[in-house]
Structure 1
């Protein structure tokens, strides 16, 4: 981060970040070599060139293909550690990190291996000036029964390492109603709940995530603007939306960044935040998203709007009130 990068230095929380989506090409190739995995790419440049997507599914195909290089605790520790160092350098003071246990269990990696590896990295975060939470996400294209089996196996980590659950992967054809029992059990276990909705799926998925799953936060949610009644509800209840601008651009949710609905979302009074989603694949980490928004003249985002987005990120977090207040004071004191 350049010395004079006041946008990058703006204190911020990241609330929508898939740790598997931080797998940079160089690390993917290093881990493949370490673990004896053959990838169909000659070098990092060739792999990076494959990061061109037509839609969510084309991204997921590559995303899951590359997870095969993650085999050991050390691999997950290295992956998460690399993200935390990048995040700290981009002004992230708090990160609520997603991971996809089913993507690893289904290829023979034990749940203990994944969680222990991630936990080891998260224990280093305070030394970087970053607080963390870990959110276990479930793949909505798999069955609820499969999700429930993993959920029960993860109980020993609830409340200590794992503080919430989420729902991600292919939205079309996999509505929130499919996972009502999973989210009920999470509520009973005292876990926080988030869900991807309203990215490629309709605004109705957002409503169902709130009503059927009792999600506390909606990941993406950009299609809420298609339903005025939903917009009014989101604004009145200040339900957070974790928006990912560069992801929306790369996955063709919007044709150009100038078309992004974020300014309208803010104008409607929505508690929108800015996040990076899968930054290794989508062209940038969270400060890069802030920069891209600030550099797009058509969006008209002034420094005070960026400050609002940073403040929103802490308001939308699952931090305790005292810690949240301390971070919000840092945002208020920041000078561009």
Structure 2
């Protein structure tokens, strides 16, 4: 799971299946947006980072794989169109957007260590002696704070609701005092803003979206065909069980000829479907035919039992 503090919310809990994502990304580009988009899905988490209107990073982290750049965007488009996905957009400063980018594409040195078991002074001393660049990520189930370092020296703090790298601990360090707080240690490499590629200029995002839409349409068609086949099998099985019930009832009351009468009338009256009108016609015609070979009492008893059986099967589904 990708743990990042929330910046200033721009949009929250949006259903991206209802959004034209290429158009939304284009608007963020044109407005010079800096910040990130977070996609939460059952299959994983995606982060898309903008810096001054440039889409500088896209990452998708699933249970078994990590995708970046266009592969990540393509996967996020697919999951967005499939539903069961939420989108949040947070605004950050330019510097912080770049720092988040470096963090996501860095290396995790330690993950999920309980803070109370860590010698923080020794850890910070190691950062300084090794001249590491990266961050300490301190978090609980509900809060996240980042402490950034460059060449072993602290740069500042980032916590929920901030847009800038702050120079005082404040809220960031308060997370460390919460019960169950954990810490990750991440290293990163510096990024030169001037050479960061804009993914929206180096590829046709619209084509990625179109491909995802076409794939979704194919999947929907397959699902509909499968549902239709399943429904057809269920209908066929129901018809077979119904015929067996009606045949056995007819044979008990009017003899073997009753089974033949059921087969004939079932195909005639209910061939188009097991409808109420069809059953009415079936029972009327079967009653008339049966009275030619059996007495009215036996026929009426047979029909009453059949109708109860049909109602019972309908309730049972």
Q: TM-score, normalised by structure 2?
A: 0.29
**Which has the larger Rg?**
2
Q: TM-score, normalised by structure 1?
A: 0.28
* Higher normalized strand content (fraction of residues): 2
